[in-house]
Structure 1
Amino acid sequence: MPLLQPPNVLPKGMFLIDQVLLHRRRPVPRDDLRALVQPSTLPLRQGGTSTFDACLKALRDLDLVRVEEHTQGEALSRHPDSPAVPDVLTFYTLLLQRAVLQAPHDLESAAQRDLLTALTWWCAQDPHAAPIEWSKVQELLGHDLGADFTSFPIGNTNPWQSFTRWALVLGFAEQESVGEGAPARLVPDITRALKRILTSRAAPGVVRAQDFLTLVRECLPVVDGGRLAVQMRPHWNVPDRRAVAGAVDRALSHAILRCAEDGLVELDSLSDAAKVNLSDAERIFSFSHVRIQEREA
């Protein structure tokens, strides 16, 4: 089952199931778990897949929950490889790791294929442009993919609404905070996703700029230069949003510069070292080394 369909695959619902299983510490019969999480007096969707079933299937697809045999039928428990998470934000970082960092090389049968494909397109958009709502999505997709864009994973309203939830949860977007209809408009700002990578995967110290980019692209294969971006974007008519040829594109550059502004990294430019160019809108920002700061305890 894809992560963007049905539309009631809710990350918060996935977190709720995870927490029940975490605190029970033993396999829970499926019907008992359903009664706890979504009792019959709380129908969250009329018809189609129930929210409980949709969220549980997503957890299983991402190897966060496993099924065992039980005297009452199926019993569910957290996967033994799943770390305990104390809060919802930590759980969302775990979702980022399972859905994006651990994306399989062959996406054909991957549950998150639709989400990863949409994110690969989304991470090519311009964070300096106007916030994006559904009407603008149609315009952008029409330009980048042509008349058949409706077959794209976010080519109609329901999966787009699902995508907005996932993009916000995983840190690949921000909501516009002011103006009429603001919550419906997203900014393709991937800074929070990059920050989660830096705080969970990057060792403090100084690294060459190119090695830093390699780490980021390995962890986030949907960004400029990442495995999925290299694989998918040449088939699309996406504008080349770079200050100069060979520079990092605007979306990834913006996130790196935001991390520097917020003190997670320092970007240094040594005169005798090879440089990487960032696209600071129309301007070029060059750096040769990155100092990854110590994380607070």
Structure 2
Amino acid sequence: MTLINVSASLPTAMWAAIRMFSTPTARYQVDELLLLLSPTSVFRTKEDSKEKPPARRALDTLQDLGILEKSSDEIGLSAEHQELAGAALRTYLDRLRIACLAAKHNDGLLGQTDRGALDLTRALVWFLAQDPLGPPLGWTEVQPLQSSVNWASGLVFSNSTRWNLFSYWAPALGFAGQHSVLGDDAARTLIPDCTTAVQATVERLWPAEALLEAEEFVAHLSAELPVLPEGQYARQLGISTDDPKKVSTVLSLALLRGHDEGWISLIRRQDSQRDVVLVDPDRVDRAQRVTEIEVHGSHGE
């Protein structure tokens, strides 16, 4: 399995497959499900084509990630993903993010293979280490930037196809924004922005009104999102923050946005010595010290 190579599916096609399972116990014959997802009257594959049709790639990728499982010739939701039956899009994307970042799909991160989710994980680690306050990144900008990578697996994006596929995966998983003014759809221009992934993770980890020390908050968050510069995968690949008290720019901006939008509050208590330092571009010294973070939920309630 790879996730940003031509043999893999895209989150949109996989969502179409998931929508077929309206109940936890729903099961389909594989051939039946393929016909429902990709009627031959609409989608025809050339007889001599070696390329799998999109519906087949979607089912294969969902099985590789453990979201769907096959028993005999029937396919259905796996036991740990029953909540996806009839679920909303956000729930699906949250579960997809968790599956892609799971340790079992990222064994051998420092090696040369692309098995599991390794190609996407490496790409996310590299991408989130780029400057979110800099120019938007398209394939033209990415090519010279990635030349500094010296991993056993080689360049993060060995060709424009991988960048193009990444430009679908990164926003879907909540790790990228698409520039609304300068972005060129054809160029797939992205901005490193983990706000969506951070907000979803915060709401999953803590109830409203939870109050945590900032260090603890960042530690738990980076454990759940190991592709952040504070995370385990970034450390393994040598792209990580040097000082545990200094929060990366990309995570800082997500937390500042969360404060502005009301789903968290950033608090500084003068009598506390346990703080973290956020990158705040609106301050003269570009730094904001935070000792505690309070969780409010998606509407600041």
Aligned to 1:131: 136
Aligned to 2:93: 92
Aligned to 1:255: 254
Check the 8 A contact 2:146/2:156 in 1, yes or no: no
Cα offsets for 1:125-179 (capped at 9, x unmatched):
111101111010101101x316x89933422111111111010101100111114
Matches within 5 A, 1:1-297: 1-6=1-6, 9-23=9-23, 25-43=25-43, 47=49, 48-69=51-72, 74-82=73-81, 83-84=83-84, 85-100=86-101, 102-104=102-104, 107-108=107-108, 111-142=116-147, 144-145=148-149, 151-179=154-182, 181=184, 184-204=188-208, 205-234=210-239, 247-273=246-272, 274-281=274-281, 283-294=286-297
Distance in 2 between the 1:284 and 1:8 partners? 41
Q: CA deviation at 1:18?
A: 1.2
Check the 8 A contact 2:176/2:191 in 1, yes or no: yes
Distance in 2 between the 1:37 and 1:129 partners? 41
Q: CA deviation at 1:87?
A: 2.1
Q: Report the 3-state secondary structure (helix = DSSP H, G, I; strand = E; otherwise coil) of the residue aligned with 2:79.
A: coil
Q: Unmatched 5+ residue regions in structure 1?
A: none
Q: Report the 3-state secondary structure (helix = DSSP H, G, I; strand = E; otherwise coil) of the residue aligned with 2:289.
A: strand
Q: After the TM superposition, which parts of structure 1 deviate over 6 Å for at least 4 consecutive aligned residues?
A: none
Larger mean CA deviation between 77-86 and 187-196 belongs to 77-86
Identity percentage of aligned residues: 24
Q: Report the 3-state secondary structure (helix = DSSP H, G, I; strand = E; otherwise coil) of the residue aligned with 1:151.
A: coil
Q: Which has the higher helix share?
A: 1
Larger mean CA deviation between 256-265 and 173-182 belongs to 173-182
TM-score normalised to structure 1 length: 0.87
Counterpart of 1:91, as a letter, is Y
Change (3 A) 1:152 1:54: farther
Change (3 A) 1:182 1:49: closer
Distance in 2 between the 1:7 and 1:149 partners? 22
Cα offsets for 1:52-81 (capped at 9, x unmatched):
121111101111111111xxxx21111122
Check the 8 A contact 1:45/1:51 in 2, yes or no: no
Q: CA deviation at 1:49?
A: 2.2
Cα offsets for 1:228-247 (capped at 9, x unmatched):
0111025xxx9x7x9x9952
Check the 8 A contact 2:138/2:189 in 1, yes or no: yes
Check the 8 A contact 1:8/1:54 in 2, yes or no: yes
TM-score normalised to structure 2 length: 0.85
Check the 8 A contact 1:121/1:233 in 2, yes or no: no
Q: Give the root-mean-square deviation of aligned CA atoms.
A: 2.6
Counterpart of 2:171, as a letter, is L
**Number of equivalent positions:** 284
Change (3 A) 1:294 1:166: closer
Q: CA deviation at 1:186?
A: 0.7
